[in-house]
Amino acid sequence: MIAMAVLAVLTMGALATSAGAHPKLTSVSPVADVSSKVAPREIKLNFSEGVIAKLSGLELKEEAGNTIATGTPLNDPRNRKLLIVPLAAPLTAGRYKVSWHAVSEDTHRVKGEYSFEVAR
């Protein structure tokens, strides 16, 4: 009986710890602050936990501040931690700013931004 009580307390503690976590951006493609010779066809955001694509997304702007059209965000079917946002058209040479937001599967919302460059 005591063992069951100890197990219940440990389980509740583990659940409380994981429920308080927020997703963290672990990697991006195109890579932040790097100049690439290849224009991306999509932007990939990888998180520390699964995210809900329909509640997540990004805004992409070129150096003059104009917004670039993007497609509907989706999860990689094999990895719910990976959010993929297709681009409506290939990007031209220049610097771009990504302002992203994501909602994790446990409903925590996070946001951030980064920049990348397509070589001239």
* Residuewise pLDDT in 10s, the chain (120 residues): 554 443 333 344 444 444 557 899 999 999 998 888 889 999 999 999 999 999 999 999 999 999 999 999 999 999 999 999 999 998 999 999 999 999 999 999 999 999 999 997
Closest CA to 82 of 40, 48, 33: 48
User: Which domains, and CATH codes, for the chain?
Assistant: 23-118 (2.60.40.1220)
- Give the number of other Cβ atoms within 10 Å of residue 30's Cβ: 22
Cβ pair 82, 48 in contact under 8 A:
no
Say how far apart CA 37 and CA 94 lie, in whole Å.
Answer: 11
